[in-house]
Amino acid sequence: MSTVEDLLEELRREKLATRRVLDRIPEASLAWKPHAKSMSLGQLALHTAGLPGGVAALLNAPSSEVPNVPFPEAGSVSEIVAALEEQCAAAENILSSWEDGSLRETFTWTMQGMALFQTSRLEQVRSVLFNHWYHHRGQLTVYLRLLDVPLPGIYGPSADERN
């Protein structure tokens, strides 16, 4: 299997895990925040759903400006789930267009046209696309726990599923 194929498999597998978390979001709690400085549940969920496609699009070029990411409020859980499906399909299309050699190419993040740092595209896929996505999915599980919503298993049964 190529590295690109491995990344595609991971994307597909993690999309299913993310979907299980998103499916547990109580629609009545989309505006809820655990703290005044936190995103709302709806903002965090919509951001999490949109990450794969948005980041893959940025990484498809040799360089990209660090984006100023808006955090719109989701209107419904179905909007969030639709965004996940759409953005994962977009990420899959972009990743499928790459070859292993393109993963070794240098990618540069810029701010106002000035280079901030450079790494391989693969490092950016691992850190900014996947790890960033998992980080926000983890935050969602904390929000759900604070709302006393039973959590789904992600990498095995959750405490709620074992009981």
> Per-residue pLDDT tens for 106-162?
999 999 999 999 999 999 999 999 999 999 999 999 999 999 999 999 999 999 988
- Check pLDDT > 90 for residue 1: no
What is the per-residue pLDDT for 163? 66
Closest alpha carbon to 39 in 140, 145, 150, 133: 140
**Residue 41 one-letter amino acid:** L
Asked whether 26 and 42 are in contact (CB, 8 A), the reply is no
The dihedrals phi and psi of 59, each to the nearest 5 degrees, come to -80, -5
Closest alpha carbon to 7 in 106, 97, 118, 139: 97
pTM: 0.94
> Per-residue pLDDT tens for 43-87?
999 999 999 999 999 999 999 999 888 899 999 999 999 999 999
